[in-house]
Each structure stands twice: as C-alpha cells, then as structure tokens.
Amino acid sequence: MKIIHWRTIQAIPQTVQWQRILTPAGELIVLYIDDSIVSSYFNFNNRPIEEWIRELFPNQSQTIVIIEKKEQLLPSSLAQLAQLKEVYLAEFGTPFQQNVWEELMKIPYGSTISYTELAKRLGNLEAIRAVAAAVGKNPFAYIIPCHRVIGNTGKLTGFRWGIETKNQLLQIEKGIRQMDINY
C-alpha cells in the first residue's frame, strides 16, 4: 500500500512542470507543482497540457508557465510506479473524496473490488453513489488506482479514459507476477 502525503498548495501556481510516462496503456502525463503531483492523466486525444491546467485552476487569470520536468520523480513503467511506497500529492478534492482515494490505494495490485465493497470499507454502504462519484473525480490516473473498482456484477464500468483502457490496465497488472511487486 502506498502512503499518501497530501500537500496544500498555498496559491495558484506560477509554474507547473510535467513528465511523460509511456505505458502499454498509453501516454500518461504527470503534472507537478514543486515536487507534489497535481494531476496525472492519459493523453489519448493529444489534449494540450494548458487545457488540463485550466481545468485544474479555473479561476487563474494570469499565465502559468509550463515546463518539462527534467528530473524523473516517478518511474517510467507501470510496474515500477505500482511499487512506490509513498507519494506526494497536491491537496485536491474534499475530505470525503480524499478518504475514498486513500481507500483506493489499499486495493492490491492486480485485484479489483466493487463500488459496494468500497463503500463498505469506508463504513457507509448508503454512500455508494457519493463513493462512485469520488472515484470518478480522481485526478491522479493510475497513481491512485481507480481502475481497480468494478461493478457489482464483475462488469467493467465507467472510467474517464475509457473502458478499453481500464481493461488494459487491469490485464497489464494481472500479467505482472504479483510476487515481483512489494505493494
């Protein structure tokens, strides 16, 4: 299980750095402010980084400088990424969403759980819709493994980057021997 260190971003950033990780499931873009991850997303539509940043900081009136991060803070493979013991994330979302995202980090590599099971683990089965909404709002693709949550029937359900990508990520994880992952 990864440990999340939430870091408060004090002001709208002047500079955002980015890193590209090429994965079998597609290009993963990771955005940073200082050494905290602000967001990560699969860039299937070649969406400009500027658009993603405007979505993250909708009230930003001044220009944000965007530069490629020279130092690799994250490993360049999904298997290595899954082995990280701790991660520094910019504090986004509500406390409820952060609780859901922290619970997602407890789902073992290569495993899946249902939205109902996730709500049970959070101690509130009646909040299943709110839990599902929080999973869908996860701004940290793959780093917080929302792809490991499936429907009650075992069917793959909604994923911001498409069901095919969700299936591909799960197949990649199942294909990597779990004994090689200290997770």
Q: Which structure tokens are listed for 112?
A: 């899946």
Is residue 177 part of the annotated active site? The answer reads no
Residues 73 and 19: beta-carbon distance below 8 Å: yes
Dist. CA 114–CA 153, nearest whole Å: 8
Dist. CA 51–CA 31, nearest whole Å: 12
Question: CA nearest 79: which of 23, 18, 151?
Answer: 23
Burial, 183: exposed, middle or buried (Cβ in 10 Å; 0-12, 13-18, 19+)?
middle
**Cα angle: 175, vertex 155, 122; to 5 degrees:** 90
27-62 as b/e, with b when 16 or more CB fall inside 10 Å?
ebbbbbbeebbbbbbbbeeeeebeebbeebbeeeee
From the candidates 104, 119, 146, 169, which is the catalytic residue?
146
Q: Which structure tokens are listed for 45?
A: 């539509």
**Catalytic site positions:** 146
